[in-house]
Structure 1
Amino acid sequence: MRWFLKLAVSGAVMAGLLWWVDPMVVIHQLRDADLTWLCAAFVSLTALTALMARRWQIVAQALGIRLSFAHAWSEYYVAQLANMALPGGVIGDVGRAFRIRRQGDLMRAAQSVATERLIGQISIFALMAVGFAAALMIPGGVNWPVWTWLGIALFCAALGSAVILARGASASARFVRLALELIRAPRLIGYSLVIAALLVFSFYACARATQTIIPLQDLATLVPLILCSMLIPLSIGGWGWREGAAAALFPMIGASPGAGVAAGIAYGAVMLLAALPAVLIAMKSTQTHPLPHTSKMDVL
């Protein structure tokens, strides 16, 4: 029932957007999309899966879970496709935690998945915070409305609350301490910076493919805001909310709402295509892979 509810919400939001904007503009921009830029987005998203899997492997190893890169990569593919197709956006992550429990235990497996996801969210929010800080100091960019600055203030308040919470002795405090400790590791900082940059580039490439050029000075603010809208749980794979955020924000860079909808649809389609190798992985094996020996892939 929840799946149908969220599917209905995504469908209703998309229908409302197409009613609000000129649907012919959206169709025209998608029909004439530049395949070169779409391919660039596909390659970027494919690289992202490998890098996020590697980040998860590092986190899992820090928790004492022996996980090869090849195993982590295949599990990440399956989890991504499940998150896109099923409600909540976390069912795939629950599944990969359950499937690797034999390499450690279910608690540590769940902590590895949750910590890696949290590090990813902190990274993209941190990039957005840096972008808005730069927007305050460097003139000539988008004139952001008051609500965006309130959002940044709330993020800073939430981060401060997390630091205070980490001083406690509860299970939540220990989890937050673990995440804050791991995110300071040089390797994870490097991976997270590259992942955040590739996320932004992937959407930028889809916008370019649909004839919209996002100014470079606005990439670290506009794109993270659009991508963060996909975290709204009442949808399937972020459909509807992502396009709505793009439609609302694109006029701030001189583009039409229809261009934002087209860019969002292109991004969602390329994301789905980039996750399709998960189908082959699921067909090859319906149970947890045995732990493979360490290979050259483990030294990415």
Structure 2
Amino acid sequence: MAVSQARIGVIVSASRPQAGPTTAPARTTLRTLLARLDSRALRTHLGTVVGVAILGVLLWRLGTGVFLDGLRRIDAPTLLVALGIGLVTTVFSAWRWQLVARGLRIRLPLGPAVADYYRALFLNAALPGGVLGDVHRAVRHGQSAGDLGRGVRSVVLERVAGQAVLAFVGVGVLLTMPSPVLADARHFAPLIAFAALGALAVVWALRMNRATSRRGRAVRASLGEAREGLLSRRNLPGVALSSAVVLAGHLVMFVVAARVAGSAASAAVLLPLAVLALLAMSLPLNVGGWGPREGVTAWAFGAAGLGASSGLTVAVVYGVLSFVASLPGVVVLVVRWYAGLRAGAAGTGAGTVVPDPGPRQAPTGHSVDVLPVSIEKYAPKESTRLARSAFPFSAEPSEGRPMTPESV
């Protein structure tokens, strides 16, 4: 079959579409986006991003009037009540920390523990993430105790004790009291129970494992410290009592916030909603504690028939009262910062030079010239001391315990 020259020319000269120039930019953009999503900076600030996103959605759906209404309802007596509740919860939290530190053989007096806990609460409320104050408390306590690892583990175990009591009480409340999640809680309760039994089985297997690997020894050592710090006969009653008092204080604060916000619901109705809000607060996806608490409280109040706007107002009032309860931490920061400045100013005159006493007679009758003796190199450098003392979050460790204004 003959083919014309025109057809051949068309076939040969026709250019095929190239996908490279059009799809390459799209692939490059996709790879860049995935790389940014997997970046360390985004993972570090993921909690802040999520918290801001939740607050943005609430503002978009409910408006700013709900936030302003919650702020207008707070008066001076309410702030005093918040400070009183905060004092009780902070003292008992510091006592729980002291008990755990004692189980790990770390000296921690109650007074410095209360001051450090107030400082950590304020930093948690003022800085994004909601946990930076606890991180600072753990590092400073470990440095002052001379054992950074044990200092950090004492704070971690203390926080785990509080979250464990919250989970235990929360599950009991959500399984027995009417709430928007009562049916779901009863449905997932068996699964949670089986998961808990599985975790206990794993812990028991690790304990019975006689392997001499480095990881096995580390796991057994951690389990031993957890048992001594939390579950020993000496510490368990105090840890349980202090955790129960702290949880009760948070629940009372929530009821006070609901009354200030104008909610007429009974305490029996508010208790499951408060538990849901506290469970949401334990998620590290917030901005100084704000974000999931407001979202979950608004949803829970709406599902319970109390109104999502009312729930958001309650959450706003609770957040403000919690922040006010942590304000004594500002006093701790200022006092220690000022004490550090005074210590730094006093240390600047330490590098003095002893004047030359002149030549003295050696025992053999020979004259020996004595050089000027300087103690400057034994004194702390001025720049280093001032740099440490000018930062209000730092304090010089002494005697194996966190510093107080009296010990500087």
TM-score range, shorter chain: 0.7 to 0.9
The one of 6, 14, 17 equivalent to 2:58 is 17
Question: Distance in 2 between the 1:149 and 1:37 partners?
Answer: 37
Name the counterpart of 2:231: 181
The secondary structure found in structure 2 opposite 1:61 is helix
Q: Which amino acid aligns with 1:99?
A: R
Change (3 A) 1:143 1:104: same
Paired residues for 1:104-123 under 5 Å: 105-123=147-165
User: Is 2:284 the partner of 1:259?
Assistant: no
CA shift at 1:18, angstroms? 2.4
Q: 2:124 aligns with which of 41, 64, 83?
A: 83
Structure 2 CA distance, aligned partners of 1:214 and 1:123?
A: 25
How far apart, in 2, do the equivalents of 1:176 and 1:158 lie? 20
Distance 1:69 1:52 in 2: 10
Partner Cα separation in structure 2 for residue 175 and residue 291 of structure 1: 22
| Deviation sequence 1:220-278 (CA, Å, 0-9, x none) | 42211111112222321231211100000013443110111111111111111221222
Q: In the superposition, relative to structure 1, how do residues 276 and 58 fare at CA in structure 2: closer, same or farther (>3 Å)?
A: same
1:124 to 166, 187, 194: 166
Aligned letter for 1:254? G
RMSD: 2.8
Tell me whether 1:166 sits opposite 2:203 in the alignment. yes
Give yes or no for contact 2:101–2:154 (8 Å, CA) kept in 1: yes
Deviates more, 1:64-73 or 1:106-115: 106-115
After TM superposition, the score normalised by the length of structure 1 is 0.83
Deviation string, structure 1 residues 198-222 (Cα, Å, up to 9, x no partner): 1111111111110114432244422
Q: Which has the larger radius of gyration?
A: 2
TM-score scaled by structure 2?
Answer: 0.63
Supply the distance in 2 between the matched residues of 1:216 and 1:66 (Cα, whole angstroms). 40
CA pair 279-108 structure 1, distance change in 2 beyond 3 A: same
**Deviation per residue, 1:42-93 (Å, 9 max, x gap):** 3212321111011101111121111111111111112122222334433222
- One-letter code of the match for 2:83? F
Residue number in structure 2 paired with 1:298:
none
Q: Any unmatched runs of 5+ in structure 2?
A: 1-40, 208-215, 337-393, 402-408
Pick the structure with more helix per residue.
Answer: 1
On the 8 A contact 2:73/2:261 being kept in 1, the answer is: yes
Deviates more, 1:232-241 or 1:116-125: 232-241
Displacement of 1:178 after TM fit?
Answer: 4.5
Change (3 A) 1:90 1:22: closer
Where 1:67 maps in the other structure, the secondary structure is: coil
Unaligned runs of 5+ in 1: 136-140, 294-300
Aligned to 1:296: none
Residue type matched to 2:231 in 1?
Answer: E
- 8 Å CA contact retained: 2:103, 2:230: no
Higher relative contact order (CA 8 A, sep 6+): 1
Aligned to 1:287: 395
1-structure distance, mates of 2:263, 2:90? 26
CA offsets per residue over residues 159-184 of structure 1, 9 Å max, x none? 33442233214425445544651597
2:25 matched residue in structure 1: none
**Whole-Å Cα distance in 1 between the matches of residues 94 and 192 of structure 2?**
26
> 1-side partners of 2:192 and 2:396: how far apart?
38
Aligned to 1:268: 319
Q: Is the 8 A contact 2:145 2:400 kept in 1?
A: no
Q: Which moved more, 1:265-274 or 1:229-238?
A: 229-238
Is residue 232 from structure 1 mapped to residue 283 from structure 2 by the alignment? yes
- In structure 2, the CA distance between the partners of 1:60 and 1:155, relative to structure 1 (3 Å rule), is farther
In structure 2, which of residues 176, 197, 216 is the aligned counterpart of residue 134 of structure 1?
A: 176
Distance 1:151 1:60, change over 3 A: farther
Match of 1:147 in 2: 184
Contact preservation (8 Å) 1:79, 1:93: yes
Query: Which deviations, in whole Å up to 9, do the C-alpha atoms of 1:120-178 show, x marking residues without a partner?
Result: 0011111112213433xxxxx33535433455455534533442233214425445544
Deviates more, 1:50-59 or 1:102-111: 102-111
